[in-house]
Amino acid sequence: MLKVTKNILKRVYFPRLAGAHKYDFGLLLIIGGGEFYTGSPALAGMAAFRTGVDMVQILAPTRAANIIASFSPNLAAYPLEGKWLNKKNLPNLILMTEAAKQVAPDRAAIVIGGGLGRSEETKEAVLEYFRGLSPKGDSPRVVIDADGIHAVAKNPEILKGKNFLLTPHAFEFFVLTGKEVKNLSFEEKIKVVKEEAARLGCVILLKGEKDIISDGKEVAINETGSPYLTVGGTGDTLAGICGSLLAQGIEPFLAAQAAAFINGKAGGIAAKKFGPGLTATDLIEAIPEVLK
């Protein structure tokens, strides 16, 4: 079993050489948001930028996209027709995914799920989108979070053979696997996460007081964090950091470890300053201190 330490950063960050070009360090597509939850994709995008990705494109239903575009000039938000994700949006999603893969070969990644909602129409659209992704050898790396986990729970077989990293908390893990881990001992949680990662054929990052990360073969434990990270939005920042590292070419198991460390460490730094007043944007602003 591996314990994640600051040394993980040396395995994912290297000096940038002169002559580097845009997209050498990744293009991240973030698919999320809806009529009510508009901040989730923005938080993921801002955290992704702070952790080094070159470009973020956010694909969101119209109201969410318009609000997100007003948050920061750094965020490029493309409006999808409708109040929530639906099958009519699939041609645009596939087109923009394929365009990302062409613009940034081997450096395109996706984050999907935050704020999408859990309507049956949206869940089916997510599954149909995943069916349209190429097999593992040519598939972009994907982080599935929040409502995206509720969607794949309808058909977990869709996870096999693709570069998927899932970031559930305890209830989402139950929705995905049918396994209740909340009241298990820590050792029992480790065993269940490893077994489910192997069964589903993906990397799982189970969020908690101590994060448990497994690819079904190995297990890593991250202990950074703070009780104040219960505030809304810190799961979105974690998903964005995961996506940023995937887009920079880091494989999913290693990316999950580094992202958990960065998110927890930045949250701890912000918590010392803000205490119970901590917000997800405070965490994002603390990321550069972690990466020094």
- Whole-number Cα distances in Å, 250 to 9, 116, 139: 11, 26, 14
Residue at 58 is within a domain = yes
Task: Determine the pLDDT at residue 66.
Answer: 96
Residue at 9 is within a domain = no
Task: Determine the pLDDT at residue 134.
Answer: 65
For the chain, how many structural domains are there in total? 1
Interaxial angle between packed helices 39-50 and 62-71, expressed in degrees from 0 to 180 and rounded to the nearest 10? 40
Task: Determine the pLDDT at residue 162.
Answer: 86
Residue at 141 is within a domain = yes
**Is 45 a known ligand-binding residue?**
no
Residue at 4 is within a domain = no
Residue at 18 is within a domain = no
Task: Find the length of the chain.
Answer: 292
- As to burial, measured by CB atoms within 10 angstroms (0-12 exposed, 13-18 middle, 19+ buried), residue 143 is buried
CATH number assigned to the domain comprising residue 279: 3.40.1190.20
pLDDT per position in the chain (292 positions), as tens? Answer: 999 999 999 999 999 999 999 999 999 999 999 988 999 999 999 999 999 999 999 999 999 999 999 999 999 999 999 999 999 999 999 999 999 999 999 999 999 999 999 999 999 999 999 998 866 557 789 999 999 999 999 999 999 878 999 999 999 999 999 999 999 999 999 999 999 999 999 999 999 999 999 999 999 999 999 999 999 999 999 999 999 999 999 999 999 999 999 999 999 999 999 999 999 999 999 999 999 9
Residue at 14 is within a domain = no
Residue at 131 is within a domain = yes
Q: CB 116: neighbour CB atoms within 10 A?
A: 29
Q: CB 62: neighbour CB atoms within 10 A?
A: 16
**Is 82 a known ligand-binding residue?**
no
How many Å apart are CA 292 and CA 279, to the nearest integer?
22
Residue at 68 is within a domain = yes
**Is 138 a known ligand-binding residue?**
no
Q: Provide the residue range defining the domain that includes 163.
A: 23-287
Closest CA to 43 of 222, 290, 274, 244: 244
Task: Determine the pLDDT at residue 204.
Answer: 98
**Is 150 a known ligand-binding residue?**
no
